[in-house]
Structure 1
Amino acid sequence: MTIKNSTCFQHIWVSTDDKRIAIEAQKYGATVHRRPEKFARDDTPSLHAISEFLDVHRSIQDFALFQCTSVFLKTKYIQEAVRKFESHDCVFAAKRSHYLRWKVVDGELMPAEFNLSARPRRQDWQGDIVETGMFYFSRRKLVDSGLLQNSRCSIVEIAAKDSLEIDSSYDLTLAKYILSSETKSEL
């Protein structure tokens, strides 16, 4: 409903190989794209599923992919993405990470992207930009060249509390807790 409530799209498609999901999507007015099983596996890259969709629907030039695992999607994020997409080839959801990252190089632990002798305080540092996976707006021409993003991208910065992705049973438990605590605080 969030995507529909944004009033930003002429068509809303649900791409699935699952009959139950298709029936549910149609109840809410979405058009269903029957995705072949080989493009609906857990290890299928999003780019392959998008390419298959665009191959079938040749008239579509611009698209937005929303991941159903991002349950805290807000209309304000969608509307901001649409505005930015007018002047960019791609727009995606991202959050700020203020963790100081480390990497192992040739068996040795080294700081990633910060200097040990000028170690920043995390609260004074702008942080890294990290994709959330919530959504991707892109153009057919990028997908046709084998890409979802390029250097002409913009981001919509998602609040940390909205950036949770449901990728495990722990994430699902956490999302349920967040939703129940938000509901209690509204009462």
Structure 2
Amino acid sequence: MRLAIIPARGGSKRIPRKNIKDFNGKPMIGWSIEAAFLSGVFDEVWVSTDDTEIAAVAQSFGATVPFIRPAELSDDHTGTSAVVRHAISWALQQQLKPELVACIYATAPLLQSQMLNDAMRQLQQDPALDYVFSGCRFSFPIQRALYRTEQGGVQAVDPSSIPKRSQDLPETFHDAGQFYCGRTQSWLDAKPVFSESAYLYELPQHLVQDIDTAEDWRRAELLHQLLLRQP
């Protein structure tokens, strides 16, 4: 069994009700659910939520809401891995046997179904991998990052990298925050996602956008509108 789990709690604070707020004509979570189904690689798509309104919206897009997530797993400090482990444990108690489990964020409207298809295939074909997750290249060498001091001055994070050419510095990447495909036992054992046994599935920069502020939201909508216009 290949299972997709979409965590979606109701207590978003920076953008209230973010998971079901309208995004280019659909509740935000609807785009993630549709991408999961369109990928064609999941036997079931579950939404883990503590919120009955989010549950109803998720079900209207065809997702299964097998339980209401307990309050102790729905606060600001609960990590995604704990939510995934809870859902897997619930599945096992129901005599279900997921082998591969993907965590897909509810706030990933730029996610393309083919990415999920590719990532799950990569995980299935390479038994040495615990996870395949979405990542993106930093657009500027982070070794040349700067601190701003309290007095308004500037300090280099790594002074030795400042005089170096960009092409002489190693490329660096960051978590794109869209999906994490993993083996059931890897999730249950709480193995770290960012490790030698994980594969970074690189996304182009125009398909990556954190959505934490109103400005983020507007930029993501504009990028998404361009995607919708593509043939």
Paired residues of 1:71 and 1:165 also in contact (CA < 8 A): no
* Correspondent of 2:224 among 174, 179, 185: 179
Q: Structure 1, residues 74-101: CA drift from partner, whole Å, max 9, x if none?
A: 0121111012111122100000013222
Q: Is the 8 A contact 1:81 1:155 kept in 2?
A: no
Matched residue SS, 2:224: helix
Whole-Å Cα distance in 2 between the matches of residues 186 and 78 of structure 1? Answer: 19
Per-residue CA distance 1:17-72 (angstroms, 9 max, x = gap): 11122112212221113211221223311011112112211133320000011210
Separation in 1 of the partners of 2:190 and 2:86?
12
Opposite residue 14 of structure 1, the aligned amino acid is: V
Structure 1 outlier segments of 4+, above 3 Å: 114-117, 179-183
Aligned twin of 2:213: 168
Equivalent pair of 1:47/1:148 in contact (CA under 8 Å): no
Distance of aligned partners of 1:57 and 1:21 in 2 relative to their CA distance in 1, 3 Å threshold: same
Deviates most, 126-135 or 5-14: 126-135
The whole-number CA distance in structure 2 between the counterparts of 1:51 and 1:148 is 13
Matches within 5 A, 1:77-156: 77-86=115-124, 87=126, 88-101=129-142, 102=145, 109-111=156-158, 115-117=161-163, 119-121=164-166, 127-149=171-193, 150-156=195-201
Q: Count how many residue pairs are aligned between Structure 1 and Structure 2.
A: 181
In structure 2, how many angstroms separate the alpha carbons of the residues matched to 1:16 and 1:82? 24
Q: 1:65 to 1:146 in 2, by over 3 A?
A: same
Alignment RMSD: 2.6
Which segments of 5 or more consecutive residues in structure 2 lack a partner in the other structure? 1-33, 148-154
Q: What does residue 35 of structure 1 align with?
A: 69
Distance 2:146 2:182 in 1: 31
Q: Distance in 2 between matches of 1:68 and 1:76?
A: 17
Deviation per CA, 1:83-135: give whole Å up to 9, x if none: 2111122100000013222377xxx74328x7445x1226x766212111100
Range 168-177 or range 15-24, more displaced: 168-177
Aligned-partner Cα distance in 1 for 2:63–2:186: 25
Structure 1 runs not aligned, ≥5 long: none
- Partner of residue 108, structure 2: 70
Structure 2 CA distance for partners of 1:186 and 1:89, relative to 1, 3 Å: closer
The residue type paired with residue 204 of structure 2 is A
What is the TM-score normalised by the length of structure 1?
A: 0.83
Task: Give SS of 1:32's match.
Answer: coil
1:53 corresponds to: 87
What's the TM-score once normalised by structure 2's chain length? Answer: 0.69
Match of 2:6 in 1: none
State the one-letter code of the partner of 2:183: R
| Range that drifts further, 6-15 or 144-153 | 144-153
